[in-house]
Amino acid sequence: MNKNQLESLLQKVKQSEVTIEDAMQTLSSLPFDDLGFAMIDHHRHLRVGYPEVIYCEGKTIDQVIKIFENMVSRQVNILATRASMALYEAIKPLHMEAKYNEAARVITLTHEAIPVTEDYIAIVAAGTSDLPVVEEAYETAVAFGNRVEKVVDVGVAGIHRLFARLDVIRGAKVVIVVAGMEGALASVVAGLVDKPVIAVPTSVGYGASFGGISALLTMLNSCASGVTVVNIDNGFGAAYAASQMNKL
Amino acid sequence: MNKNQLESLLQKVKQSEVTIEDAMQTLSSLPFDDLGFAMIDHHRHLRVGYPEVIYCEGKTIDQVIKIFENMVSRQVNILATRASMALYEAIKPLHMEAKYNEAARVITLTHEAIPVTEDYIAIVAAGTSDLPVVEEAYETAVAFGNRVEKVVDVGVAGIHRLFARLDVIRGAKVVIVVAGMEGALASVVAGLVDKPVIAVPTSVGYGASFGGISALLTMLNSCASGVTVVNIDNGFGAAYAASQMNKL
Amino acid sequence: MNKNQLESLLQKVKQSEVTIEDAMQTLSSLPFDDLGFAMIDHHRHLRVGYPEVIYCEGKTIDQVIKIFENMVSRQVNILATRASMALYEAIKPLHMEAKYNEAARVITLTHEAIPVTEDYIAIVAAGTSDLPVVEEAYETAVAFGNRVEKVVDVGVAGIHRLFARLDVIRGAKVVIVVAGMEGALASVVAGLVDKPVIAVPTSVGYGASFGGISALLTMLNSCASGVTVVNIDNGFGAAYAASQMNKL
Amino acid sequence: MNKNQLESLLQKVKQSEVTIEDAMQTLSSLPFDDLGFAMIDHHRHLRVGYPEVIYCEGKTIDQVIKIFENMVSRQVNILATRASMALYEAIKPLHMEAKYNEAARVITLTHEAIPVTEDYIAIVAAGTSDLPVVEEAYETAVAFGNRVEKVVDVGVAGIHRLFARLDVIRGAKVVIVVAGMEGALASVVAGLVDKPVIAVPTSVGYGASFGGISALLTMLNSCASGVTVVNIDNGFGAAYAASQMNKL
Amino acid sequence: MNKNQLESLLQKVKQSEVTIEDAMQTLSSLPFDDLGFAMIDHHRHLRVGYPEVIYCEGKTIDQVIKIFENMVSRQVNILATRASMALYEAIKPLHMEAKYNEAARVITLTHEAIPVTEDYIAIVAAGTSDLPVVEEAYETAVAFGNRVEKVVDVGVAGIHRLFARLDVIRGAKVVIVVAGMEGALASVVAGLVDKPVIAVPTSVGYGASFGGISALLTMLNSCASGVTVVNIDNGFGAAYAASQMNKL
Amino acid sequence: MNKNQLESLLQKVKQSEVTIEDAMQTLSSLPFDDLGFAMIDHHRHLRVGYPEVIYCEGKTIDQVIKIFENMVSRQVNILATRASMALYEAIKPLHMEAKYNEAARVITLTHEAIPVTEDYIAIVAAGTSDLPVVEEAYETAVAFGNRVEKVVDVGVAGIHRLFARLDVIRGAKVVIVVAGMEGALASVVAGLVDKPVIAVPTSVGYGASFGGISALLTMLNSCASGVTVVNIDNGFGAAYAASQMNKL
Amino acid sequence: MNKNQLESLLQKVKQSEVTIEDAMQTLSSLPFDDLGFAMIDHHRHLRVGYPEVIYCEGKTIDQVIKIFENMVSRQVNILATRASMALYEAIKPLHMEAKYNEAARVITLTHEAIPVTEDYIAIVAAGTSDLPVVEEAYETAVAFGNRVEKVVDVGVAGIHRLFARLDVIRGAKVVIVVAGMEGALASVVAGLVDKPVIAVPTSVGYGASFGGISALLTMLNSCASGVTVVNIDNGFGAAYAASQMNKL
Amino acid sequence: MNKNQLESLLQKVKQSEVTIEDAMQTLSSLPFDDLGFAMIDHHRHLRVGYPEVIYCEGKTIDQVIKIFENMVSRQVNILATRASMALYEAIKPLHMEAKYNEAARVITLTHEAIPVTEDYIAIVAAGTSDLPVVEEAYETAVAFGNRVEKVVDVGVAGIHRLFARLDVIRGAKVVIVVAGMEGALASVVAGLVDKPVIAVPTSVGYGASFGGISALLTMLNSCASGVTVVNIDNGFGAAYAASQMNKL
């Protein structure tokens, strides 16, 4: 509710076009549904066809299905992340049009198509093992209406592989770099492009990679300017931020 | 050097317009100067009036002055971060037009003015103690030609202070959130705006803040989408990335 | 045993109302039973109907059952936390009146009802995934005779959801805030109420949440005054402390 | 602004007793002053004589003095924590009635006396080296109008010292336990009293005490129920929370 | 091989009582068997009936059995720690006299009885969940010929339980204290006895106990003198060191 | 592509021996195959019979098989590390000549034998539990054409076992030391030889070994000169580096 | 106060040999003085000439002097650890007989000589930089009446230096091993002797020694049996425990 | 002392060419001097002109001078690392020929020149701030008789700077890579050369670089094969190991 809306509402109260009870209702009510165990936020959908998002981890299958049903009833697009195969198998019979990207662990259900940007987001990944995070980012970016290009297995140990794909990376409006182990790819890419680089550390590695901490620290300490970082394995978050930037 | 330039160069070699020696020179030489202890990179300046940047920490005053001289001789704008008062006092007699923002620990020297954007970056800070980082971000963003608005001391402990300035924050194209201690401000702001939010954890705090780790983790784990994070106290990095986004 | 009791006991010894043997017995014996592997403490029950508590984790089913039997034989209320379904299934045939809250992993057995307070404890939680901790706190607070109100899924990413329930929170005598990921909710709530806020970090999250460390640090560093913190996922401890405060 | 006030305001708008401009002003303005670098919050003072608090660390002496002046001009009590001797020496000539507790690093300025509670807070400390934190807690609790009793140097290595003072501890309504090194005192005290125990880990110790982490972890993992914890060395926070509880 | 033995050997070489080849053999050979994947050390057994020890974790069942066979063939007592039930079931048919303490995860095989000390080691434990570590320490101490007394479930949360058993603890020559969670018991016990106290942190706990780190730090930082510490869950190591002390 | 090759290529362009298109092709193409999800690098094989390496962890069985097939088709030797038994069982029917070292978790497929060095690498290990890492290092070193000697179970607790094998260790050109727990073996060995010592910490241990961190830190802090360190459990990396050194 | 004493006291009360007031006095009073900021414990001195100990770190010079005076007035031996030169210079004019070991940072004042043991404690140190800890241990052990032998600079990097002094080490009843950096010396020594080994990690080192954490972990994970560990740089604690063992 | 020497010694004893006393002397004595607080090891010098090394940190100036004098008296080359300017100023008057590299904090004193290798070690550094570590490595490598080439300020943020110097790096027999912040340079270099790469993390950086931990982890997790790592800032260690490899 911005200043204009507030002024307009008060104006209507003064002119008795709106009762005090209704004004109070408007002022205190906000756009979400209360399911008891979850509050579903409709804000995002107010913008053109953006999906509503369910983060499934830590929720029971029953809980996710109830949230899902609520969303379907309002005819919105849905993006469910960190969704197990078991969850998908429970949802599928109820909503045959739901799709599952197993590597990404993402369920999508599209009610109405959303227009796709001309500019694209490049998702660049160091190794094959980083693919699950790449796919989560990919599904998210696509669900929010972005054109996306993937460049995979171009880690710095064989830097010529990266250079061979450099034109695709340099053509992007925003670049997401996904890397585990030592995570050096983000710095190298950021030194080669002049666009925002969102770095996603992954939990790929062993020993002193400490489940992604090594890559996370590498990215936070990047000597290349223009790198910002999201949580370990957070493909969704990277793509969400990239989508915001791609549409600036 | 892109494909077209490469093709053109080879064409000229074939047509003997360029000698093999010159072609080799062009292919191997790259735009930087070697001072022995430092390689100065001219890339950035190729773009309209962007400053060249010196990160002063860990360099001796002598080294910084030599780098400074090299830049001045090429008539570029200069932005020197993490500059101590002692360093500024050594530079000032040589370059009277150099300016020092003590809180920011930033020296700037402007050779030619750079056009300022219409869109602005909002720098939002939780507390007064975060000001040094705010100022480093401010000087950087301005040096790169951005309009900037500052909103300071609006930490979540008194959330009404934040709401009172919400219109300024919502009007920005990109938002930088600076916070130490528990760093919760980034999540709250990101939940209230629909623009990229760059979070800068600061080392403000004591005990279990662990020099900024607490705020860093908070921001990386933000439940609000659209937050990306830079290193602790990295006002420069946040502003650099914000500038890239502001100019998309 | 306070000074008065000590004086009285000695007086009786002097007046031969109590034999030396009995006095020694009284002075050295203390109210607990020794099961060999566990010492059961009856102190708490001396107060009106408070349950005796078993922390089940790390105990074998056999051990818990023996402790349970000992308590049942003394006709007290019982609260068993961190109880697996398997444990409940072993106890149920023996004590049909035992109840199990699966989300909370809590078994309760009520021998005599305990009076309920007029003031209430509000349990406020950031997300649906925090429900197990909410439920453990709920069962504990109820078992100790407190009125409780739950407010769930009001994380700071959509702060309007929190504001919509603010009156319930502000009406409480003590507030428990349960949050994982970045745990910012505790600071925001503490800034909005003027009552003791007990913060419970949860292990909900991934990557740099480090099993609850991120939320724990956030809460310890809260810039809002009046926040105290308990261990990660320690719903029981939060409710126990809240109960003490609610009855002050 | 509660429901009644909102209803009343809208009523006045409707009856043209309040103009729309004024109503907007009221709805958006909130009780704080903006000094540019700091927002001073008057909320707390609305309650009987409670001091306004300045956390001085990370603020320049100039900044603190300006905040101080603003508060003095509104004739409120002031409590400035983490105040260096240098800061006090800068304030003293301007405000002769300001008092400094050097061990506590606290400046207090009392404009009007605040009534003192009958119930008292006990501050129990393990060692002499913990005194600075004890004193910060003491000054805070007194400034907020609480009766306080101190019990110092009763660490668990000589547990008879603790028992000799047990009646003072048991007589309190709330207990603050201050301990560094291994911090075991909190568990022992909580096992001996039936009141809320707020544990403050201190940075006293060396080697594997890691600046207070050891004591912090000890307190978070306390096997005694009823213990809640604040940040390392946070005497202020413990006393603030204790004051809230003491006045329940 | 001490100085006397060396002198004697050289004397014999000089007097041709020992050939140079034999002397070289004696000087280079050392008392162990090489199984290819393991070198079995017979040193310890040279002392009266002390068992040879196998640490089973990380070894395959086949490897342990081969080491076991080698020891049996030399007719020594055997103590196998961290032995799974599966391992015991593989060994039992081959060596019916082998005994298994399931809680301790220890297999013992006694070839000849070892004399038992008059002085005893007290093993004091905070909670029932610490029993596996208590049992490992117990089996080890007994196998090395020590009299042992166990005092279990006397954690500091109910300190009267500890005091009721204080005479048993004070009667010991060496005290082992086993505790998880906050591990405060070691400090309290060491403050009450004047004998060496060996503290064993256990991994019992959750959240911020970090698998025993909390208890470990507590014990290392003990404010009570005379406490030394072994690795988390290292009941064997504590008992081995205690046995050395008990026999001084 | 070195300077000479570049000059030669440009010469040929000038003399029209090479077309501009072909030159561009040569300059931009690099020796790898793109499988979509993986880029296979042929560089290494250009050297005499060195195997191509697949790191299997985090790759699906399907992905590994496709990479494997690509390599087989080019008739190279293959070394697949971190290969599960399930993976081997999927590959075996397709490539009967593939061999599996179960302890090492390594699959090898030799197309043409590679000459073996005269100098040897010694792999020295502290305990039997370190064998999986020893075997990974062994298979790698052999696959790269090195003679290897293994010295196992010579941890510092019984230092005479180490001395008995010292001549084998001292005869090596490069020494790999594999140790978990406290990892002290690396320092002792490096103090006894005058050759490069590559230390491999292993995750063997429990409690405060923290999955190999303890051994890692020990090795990094070695007071003996000449020790360099690789990641925890990284037998492959140690052997690869040792092979480079052995062939200097 | 043991059972016999309790019985005897009660007997006397009954026979009116002791008044109730006196009995209460006896039962509640304990042997310490309350200085307001410190409780001085006289327990230890009850044993033959043992010194009373002041841990000076974190105490003001004034506080230490007051504690010192109290002790002097009771004519006991004094051992003040972590004493700065400044502190010593404040005490010296008042108590000319106080002695200062600057390396150890220990002040001692001997009122009456204490008999010295025949058995000795060996203090073995890895490097010259560990001397401050060695000296603190030495002063402590001597003050408690132990014969002590020092063996310094025998780190494992040159293990022959250790062997040359092995007879001194093996002759001791208890061995203290002091080492920083990687701390491997403790394991090697414990493998060579059959006596209790108390390991003291020191903060000597840099980088990944993390102020002594590396050495601490090494010692906790020692593969050699019989090693117990104290806090980083805790020479006092090691010597105190060693003294207890030396006198068993 | 190898087998042959042992046999020869025993032969001489048998033939009475060597007395038993002398043989014992030979067997027990080892090549070092005992200064009381330090054991100086002459082993290394037995090889052609290699310097003896003093690690100065943690030693008093007096101690270093005494060690220095002992070495000078034996006419060896000396390399003193981590030497402060104050130390140098104390040594200089006594040994005018001692040289000091201030950036490196290294004192060298050359008694006789040592032959220089033909092969060279390349020391490659990411930034100007890494120079102190570069210089320590340089002085060490030179002191041990190696030819050295330095390539400085070629961090990955501007990868063209690295490529411009690639021929120097590729020409080396061993490469030392020195980098702080995110430390990505080691992986990139190791991917471009086929020689041993020794990575030295530096403490250059701030915030989440954690004094070099970030760079250390990056290097340990390098996805490029052939990288081994030394301690943070350990230029000496890297050069020592490189020297061993350069002379293989």
Enumerate the domain spans of chain F.
31-109, 120-246
What is the per-residue burial (b if ≥16 Cβ within 10 Å, else e) of C103-135? ebbbbbbbbeebeebeebbbbbbbbbbbbbbbb
Considering chain C, what percentage of its residues have pLDDT values greater than 70?
85
Select the more confidently predicted residue: A158 or E113.
E113
pLDDT tier at A8 (50, 70, 90 boundaries)?
A: confident
Question: Which residues lie across from E40 on neighbouring strands?
Answer: E33
Question: Which residues lie across from D124 on neighbouring strands?
Answer: D151, D177
The CATH code belonging to domain D120-246 is: 3.40.50.1970
Select the more confidently predicted residue: C116 or A224.
C116
Could you give phi then psi for residue E158, rounded to 5 degrees? -130, 80
pLDDT (tens digit per residue) in A80-128: 999 999 999 999 999 999 999 999 999 999 988 889 999 999 999 999 9
**pLDDT at res. B216:** 95
Mean pLDDT of G44-68: 81
Contact between C223 and C183 (Cβ < 8 Å): no
**pLDDT at res. A11:** 75
pLDDT of residue A29 exceeding 50, the answer is no
**pLDDT at res. F35:** 64
For chain H, 248 residues long, give each residue's pLDDT as a single digit of tens.
Answer: 445 555 677 677 777 777 776 766 565 444 455 666 666 654 444 445 688 899 999 999 999 999 999 888 888 899 999 999 999 999 999 999 999 999 999 999 998 888 999 999 999 999 999 999 999 999 999 999 999 999 998 888 878 788 878 889 999 999 999 999 989 999 999 988 889 999 999 999 999 898 999 999 999 999 888 899 999 999 999 999 999 999 98
pLDDT (tens digit per residue) in E49-76: 688 899 999 899 999 999 999 888 888 8
**pLDDT at res. B46:** 44
pLDDT of residue A26 exceeding 70, the answer is no
Between the CA atoms of F1, F5, F7 and F13, what dihedral angle is there, to the nearest 10 degrees?
-100
Q: Are F and E close enough to touch, i.e. 3+ CB pairs under 8 angstroms?
A: yes
Please, what is the average pLDDT of chain E? 87
Q: How many residues does chain A have?
A: 248
**pLDDT at res. D1:** 44
Q: Chain-centre distance of CA G45, in angstroms?
A: 14
Contact between B207 and B112 (Cβ < 8 Å): no
- Per DSSP, the three-state class of G109 is strand
Contact between F10 and B24 using a beta-carbon 8 Å cutoff: yes
Q: Name the nearest CA neighbour of G220 among H218, C106, E228, F231.
A: E228
Considering chain F, what percentage of its residues have pLDDT values greater than 90?
61
G167 in contact with H, Cβ within 8 Å = no
Mean pLDDT of D66-93: 93
- Per DSSP, the three-state class of C66 is helix
**pLDDT at res. B26:** 61
C203 in contact with B, Cβ within 8 Å = no
Q: Could you give the ipTM of this predicted complex? A: 0.85
Residue B196: which of A47, A236, A241 has the nearest Cβ?
Answer: A241
Select the more confidently predicted residue: H88 or F156.
H88
Residues F230, A13: Cα–Cα separation, whole Å: 73
Residues E194, E172: Cα–Cα separation, whole Å: 10
Chain G nearest C-alpha distance from H61 (Å): 12
Mean pLDDT of G143-156: 93
Name residue, tokens 């360190």: F229
Helix ranges, A74-151 (H): 85-91, 131-143
H10 in contact with E, Cβ within 8 Å = yes
Could you tell me which chains touch chain E, where touching means 3 or more CB pairs under 8 A?
C, D, F, G, H
Q: Return the structure tokens found at H95.
A: 């040994």
**pLDDT at res. F145:** 94
Contacts of E203 in chain F (CB under 8 A): 207
**pLDDT at res. G73:** 87
Residue of G79, G228, G246 to mutate when probing chain E, most E C-beta within 10 A = G228
pLDDT (tens digit per residue) in H173-224: 999 999 999 899 999 999 888 899 999 999 999 998 989 999 999 999 998 8
Q: Name the nearest CA neighbour of C130 among C81, C167, C181, C72.
A: C181
Q: Angle between the D3-14 and A20-28 helix axes, to the nearest 10 degrees?
A: 130
Q: Name the nearest CA neighbour of G41 among G65, G84, G12, G70.
A: G70
Range among D141-150, D154-163, G161-170 rated most confident: D141-150
Question: Which residues lie across from G107 on neighbouring strands?
Answer: G80, G100
Considering chain F, what percentage of its residues have pLDDT values greater than 70?
85
Residues H30, H21: Cα–Cα separation, whole Å: 15
pLDDT of residue C176 exceeding 90, the answer is yes
pLDDT of residue F12 exceeding 70, the answer is yes
pLDDT tier at E33 (50, 70, 90 boundaries)?
A: low
pLDDT of residue B197 exceeding 90, the answer is yes
- Per DSSP, the three-state class of B123 is strand
pLDDT of residue E11 exceeding 80, the answer is no
Per-residue CA distances from C19 to C22, C28, D89, G9, G24 (Å): 5, 14, 67, 13, 18
pLDDT of residue D113 exceeding 90, the answer is no
**pLDDT at res. G44:** 46
Mean pLDDT of E105-126: 94
Sequence-distant (6+) residues with CB within 8 A of H191 are A156, A157, A158, A159, H224
Sequence-distant (6+) residues with CB within 8 A of G230 are E220, E227, E228, E229, G198, G199, G200, G237, G238, G241
Per-residue CA distances from H120 to A35, E3, F152, H81, H245 (Å): 71, 48, 35, 22, 11
Contact between F115 and F142 (Cβ < 8 Å): no
Residues G179, G238: Cα–Cα separation, whole Å: 13
Residues E178, H80: Cα–Cα separation, whole Å: 47
pLDDT of residue F34 exceeding 70, the answer is no
Please, what is the average pLDDT of chain C? 86
A244 in contact with B, Cβ within 8 Å = yes
Going E37 to E38 to E39 to E42, the CA torsion angle's sign is negative
Mean pLDDT of F83-95: 95
Select the more confidently predicted residue: F93 or E27.
F93
pLDDT of residue G110 exceeding 70, the answer is yes
Q: How many residues does chain H have?
A: 248
Residues D63, H17: Cα–Cα separation, whole Å: 88
Per-residue CA distances from E235 to A127, E130, G66, G214, H138 (Å): 43, 10, 43, 22, 49
Burial bucket for residue D4 (CB in 10 Å: 0-12, 13-18, 19+):
exposed
Considering chain B, what percentage of its residues have pLDDT values greater than 90?
61
Q: Return the structure tokens found at F21.
A: 């298109």
pLDDT (tens digit per residue) in A183-216: 999 999 998 888 999 999 999 999 988 899 999 9
Residues B128, B125: Cα–Cα separation, whole Å: 8
pLDDT of residue A141 exceeding 50, the answer is yes
pLDDT tier at C35 (50, 70, 90 boundaries)?
A: low
pLDDT of residue C119 exceeding 50, the answer is yes
Residues D227, D179: Cα–Cα separation, whole Å: 13
F246 in contact with E, Cβ within 8 Å = no
Contact between G120 and G171 (Cβ < 8 Å): yes
Contact between F57 and A129 using a beta-carbon 8 Å cutoff: yes
Residues D151, D162: Cα–Cα separation, whole Å: 9
Q: Kind and range of the H or E element at H149?
A: strand H147-152
**pLDDT at res. H126:** 93
C122 in contact with D, Cβ within 8 Å = no
Residues G184, G192: Cα–Cα separation, whole Å: 13
Q: What residue of A is the nearest CA neighbor of F58? A: A129
D5 in contact with C, Cβ within 8 Å = no
Could you give phi then psi for residue G208, rounded to 5 degrees? -75, 10
pLDDT of residue C191 exceeding 50, the answer is yes
Q: Angle between the F235-246 and F131-143 helix axes, to the nearest 10 degrees?
A: 40
Residues F62, F65: Cα–Cα separation, whole Å: 5
Please, what is the average pLDDT of chain A? 86
Name residue, tokens 């025949």: G118
Residue of C54, C231, C240 to mutate when probing chain E, most E C-beta within 10 A = C231
Per-residue CA distances from D120 to C195, C225, D185, E50 (Å): 18, 20, 20, 60
Residues G204, G218: Cα–Cα separation, whole Å: 14
Three-point CA angle H112, H115, H120, nearest 5°: 135
Please, what is the average pLDDT of chain D? 87
**pLDDT at res. B80:** 96
pLDDT of residue B30 exceeding 50, the answer is no
Contacts of C3 in chain G (CB under 8 A): 24, 28
**How many of the other CB atoms lie within 10 Å of CB of G167?**
11
Name residue, tokens 């060095």: F117
**pLDDT at res. E130:** 95
Question: Which residues lie across from D32 on neighbouring strands?
Answer: D41
Sequence-distant (6+) residues with CB within 8 A of G22 are none
Helix/strand/coil (H/E/C) assignment for every residue in D153-211: CCCHHHHHHHHHCHHHHHCCCEEEEEECCCCCHHHHHHHHCCCCEEEEECCCCCHHHHH
Residues C212, B79: Cα–Cα separation, whole Å: 40
Between the CA atoms of H193, H196, H199 and H200, what dihedral angle is there, to the nearest 10 degrees?
-120
Mean pLDDT of F175-190: 93
In 3-state terms, chain D is what percent helix, strand and coil (to 5)?
Answer: 45, 20, 40
pLDDT tier at D43 (50, 70, 90 boundaries)?
A: very low
Q: Return the structure tokens found at E165.
A: 């058993």
pLDDT tier at C32 (50, 70, 90 boundaries)?
A: low
Mean pLDDT of C55-75: 91
Contact between A125 and A151 (Cβ < 8 Å): yes
